[in-house]
Amino acid sequence: MHGHDPHFYESIQGFLGSYYLVLSIMNAVAALYLWRRLGRWLEAALLVVLFGGGFVVLSGIAYGGGTRVLGLPQSFKDFVNANTGPVIYTLGTTAVLVIFFVFRRFFTKPAVAWVSLNLALLFMGLSMTDPNFSLIVTKPDNVPIVGLIFLLGFFTWLATYKAVLNDDRLAQGLPPLEKEDSEKVLVWPDLVYTELICMIALTALLLVWAIGLKAPLEAPASSVKTPNPSKAPWYFLGLQEMLVYYDPWMAGVVLPSLVLVGLMAIPFLDFNKKGNGYYTIAERPFGYIIFQLGFLELWITLIILGTFLRGPNWNFFGPYEYWDPHKVLALNNKDLSQFFWVDLLDSGLPKAPSDSGTLVQLGYILKRECVGFVGLAVYFVLLPPILAMTVFRKFFARMGFIRYMLMSNLLLFMAALPLKMVLRWVFNLKYIVHIDEYFLNF
Amino acid sequence: MAEKKKLSVAEILAAARKADSGGATAASESPATSPADVAPAEPAEVSAEAAVESTPAETPAPTAPKPATTGTPGKRPSVADILAAARQKQAPGAAAPAAKPAAAKPAAKPPGDKPANPAAKPAAGEAAPRGSGVKDTASILAAARGGNKPGPISKAEAAALTKPAAPARTTEKTKLAVPPMPAKPQYAATKPGEKKAVETEERRGFLGAFFGAFMGSFLGLGFSSLAATNALWGLGTARFMFPNVLIEPPSTFKVGPPTDFPPGAVSEKFKAQFGVWVVNGEYNGQQQLYAIRTVCTHLGCTPNWLEGEQKFKCPCHGSGFYKDGVNFEGPAPRPLERYAIRLADDGQLEIDKSKKFQEELGQWRDPSCFVVA
């Protein structure tokens, strides 16, 4: 909370006032729709009174110069800052996603979803009065990402909502909604008009964006001065987070290639003929869960982590925390070979005599890393058959040997990222196999 | 007979049906391919008797009674009809329907576009099964494949039509350049024993055609100049890689006397210009002066020296290094690299950036990478 603009609260009041005003208008429009189109006047009235009215009041307070009041209590912010770390963040997002998934029938109800959206926007508005939070969120680079988070939430809700509806219909023996609504429309004028309107609206949005948000230009590039923190484009921040846990060739080349190859392999690995052309979860739970795990958990949450929670020196910062470049975290880490030879056996790392030949040195390297190699062999070679005999028994029977091995190996590579993250956080493990003589680390 | 495109059975049958209904006129309009025209074009394949045999198949086409289709010209014959008609063709007199695909080919093309050759090919193809005396379904289909598909054609098909059907055995390329040879009389037709001589001639002709097409045409000219330009460009790029003057700091430079670097100090003075930290620190229990390269061993960012924390910290992925350059946190797999350093004759420290020393290879024991303080 130091080094900030003393006029911060005055500078934010205009934005907050219009923010809340827009929210109340949004609720009023929703209420109007409920009343006139759906005839549900009771809910409409509730919406207007609760959210429309509430946001108007908040807007008035903000315009009136009371932004200081509209914040979250300092104790709450301190609590959040103290308790968010990579572990809590990752486990928390996973837990939230699991809860959303398990209780999707409840959360996808339009009323619940609308209230959640309002609460999320309210929470965001309250957080905006924190100088540190506001500084990060209103960075020109990050504003579109905030928008994208809400957009992603909307589309995920929409898909899940339709899937829940379809699952209910399928359970009753009815065809999915998409099959009923298979009436053909004309390209001209139906589609072309829609496209034209979208095009114009998007162009207008881009114009407003370009004028409203300054391009984040920085000082001239210098080969010896790296910006701190140095961040990749937002869509690569998941990869950058992955690079914290893996060697560059692994996290920068092998794993991204496997992501692409794996996505391309899905049609060849998938034996479930259902769910083609309509939303469903119940008919293909495995595919749904694995995809959402890979996309929401291993890609989106990592992007959010990299964008908003990684600060100078790539340290982790809470959402309301000052980005102190001198924050010190105990992050000392060790390789598996050190754990085994030094800590467990209490002997030094096996080291070849300095005048030995290449083969002898290779032998010593193999001896040094034997635990890691055994671990990797168990993971990638032994685990697929074990899984085939236990969890994936049905999959193995339906897929055949080659397809099953491909699928299980891709799955294991995918799981390797969160596993490595957990190992780093819990045991401060750096690399499982660490052959820096040949730039080979895993 | 070379297969240019694969037709499905359905397509073949459709084509055969069309040829049957429209082929009567097509055959009468087609330029009468004389046996003399057909035979020399395929000296290796078409024996004289086969060529003779193929002619009656074409000439009586307009008048030959068609077993299934003459009564109702517009009606499509069934598959059985087509096959029956094709089998009937074994008798040379009643061979009309199966010859249609062959005759239809020149008709479908603009006149003057090498009328002799394409007609010869299907005829030759048909000659072979007829010679064997058996006409099974497969050979009928094969014959129909060789024929033309009437009606609208795709681009690929059009390309296949204009291309020679059997490039290995014909001299089409030469024919582009020279007028067609006069028909050889019967007694001069090549015998199987003389095959070799013919082949050499064809090979020579092929080379001639090749160079004719690629050196004498505008296409050839264009590609040749493109290749030449590219070659020049490549040479220029190669030259660019070895400039006359290198505008960069020398790889060997002096940083001042050792007294400029008190024990425990990390000098950042040479980071911007040379990419080097000069450190007076302890390594393996020995106080040394050494030069550390300012490149992170993880992904090559430039770390920062944090005086308060006494460590090098990379802003990209959070790798941390002790003062001696050994990695201890974050993903960096190995220590920072050292440059060669020595005490010059004038008492100054001299750093040589052309030599690197890596700890994990045991190179830091080399006395040329430190100066004992």
Give one DSSP letter per residue of B113-157, joined into a string: S--HHHHHHHHHHHHHHHHHT---HHHHHHHHHHS---S---HHH
Q: What is the largest CA-CA distance in chain B?
A: 116
pLDDT at A197: 96
Q: Looking at the complex, does the CB of residue A349 fall below 8 Å from at least one CB of chain B? A: no
Nearest 10 degrees: Cα torsion A376, A381, A382, A388? 130
Least confident of A191-200, B49-58, B259-268: B49-58
pTM of the model: 0.67
Q: Do B320 and A245 touch (CB under 8 A)?
A: no
pLDDT at B233: 97
pLDDT bucket at B125, cuts 50 / 70 / 90: very low
CA distance A438 to chain B (A): 10
Q: Please give the DSSP secondary-structure letter assigned to residue B356.
A: E
Give one DSSP letter per residue of A111-129, joined into a string: HHHHHHHHHHHHHHHHHTT
Residue A22, pLDDT above cutoff 90 = yes
Q: Looking at the complex, does the CB of residue A337 fall below 8 Å from at least one CB of chain B? A: no
Answer for the pair B290, B370: CB distance below 8 angstroms, yes or no: yes
Rounded to whole angstroms, the Cα distance separating B100 from B148 reads 9
Q: Please give the DSSP secondary-structure letter assigned to residue A332.
A: B
Sign of CA dihedral A105, A111, A113, A116: negative
Q: Looking at the complex, does the CB of residue B317 fall below 8 Å from at least one CB of chain A? A: yes
Residue A220, pLDDT above cutoff 90 = no
Residue A359, pLDDT above cutoff 60 = yes
pLDDT at A26: 93
Give the residue from B21, B130, B6 showing the smallest Cα distance to B70. B21
Nearest CA in chain A to B269: A224
pLDDT at A219: 81
Rounded to whole angstroms, the Cα distance separating A113 from A119 reads 10
Q: Is A290 helix (H, G, I), strand (E, B) or coil?
A: helix
Tens digits of residue pLDDT in B11-58: 777 777 776 655 444 444 444 444 444 444 444 444 444 444 444 444
Q: Per-domain residue ranges for chain A?
A: 336-441
pLDDT at B2: 42
Arithmetic mean of pLDDT over chain A: 89
CA angle A21, A26, A30 (to 5 degrees): 145
Q: Collect all residues of chain B within an 8 Å Cβ-Cβ radius of residue A364.
A: none
Using a 10 angstrom Cβ sphere, with 0-12 exposed, 13-18 middle and 19 or more buried, the burial of residue A27 is: buried
Residue B154, pLDDT above cutoff 80 = no
- CB proximity list for A348: less than 8 A, separation 6 or greater: A341, A342
Tens digits of residue pLDDT in B7-19: 677 777 777 777 6
Which residue's entry shows tokens 């506001």?
A134
Q: Which of B301, B315, B331 sits opposite A246 (nearest CB)?
A: B331
Q: Looking at the complex, does the CB of residue B79 fall below 8 Å from at least one CB of chain A? A: no
CA distance B268 to chain A (A): 11
pLDDT at B203: 64
Most confident of A190-204, B209-223, B276-290: A190-204
Instruction: Please give the single-letter amino acid code of residue B80.
Output: A
Rounded to whole angstroms, the Cα distance separating A42 from A31 reads 10
Phi, psi of B351, deg, nearest 5? -105, 135
Other C-beta atoms closer than 10 Å to the C-beta of B148 total: 25
Q: Do B331 and A247 touch (CB under 8 A)?
A: yes
pLDDT at B90: 53
Answer for the pair A338, A431: CB distance below 8 angstroms, yes or no: no
Which helix (H) or strand (E) segment holds residue A93: the answer is helix A86-102
Q: How many helices (DSSP H) and strands (DSSP E) are in chain A?
A: 22, 2
Q: Do A326 and B309 touch (CB under 8 A)?
A: yes
Task: Please report, in angstroms and rounded to a whole number, the separation of the first and last CA atoms in chain B.
Answer: 87
Q: Please give the DSSP secondary-structure letter assigned to residue A49.
A: I
Give the residue from A352, A340, A416, A323 showing the smallest Cα distance to A378. A416
pLDDT at B215: 65
Arithmetic mean of pLDDT over chain B: 69
Q: Do A224 and B318 touch (CB under 8 A)?
A: no
Other C-beta atoms closer than 10 Å to the C-beta of B282 total: 15
Residues 350-369 of B with CB under 8 A from A: 360-362, 365
Q: Do A245 and B302 touch (CB under 8 A)?
A: no
Percentage of residues in chain A having pLDDT higher than 90:
49
Task: Please report, in angstroms and rounded to a whole number, the separation of the first and last CA atoms in chain A.
Answer: 40
Residue B129, pLDDT above cutoff 60 = no
CA distance A244 to chain B (A): 5
Residue A305, pLDDT above cutoff 70 = yes
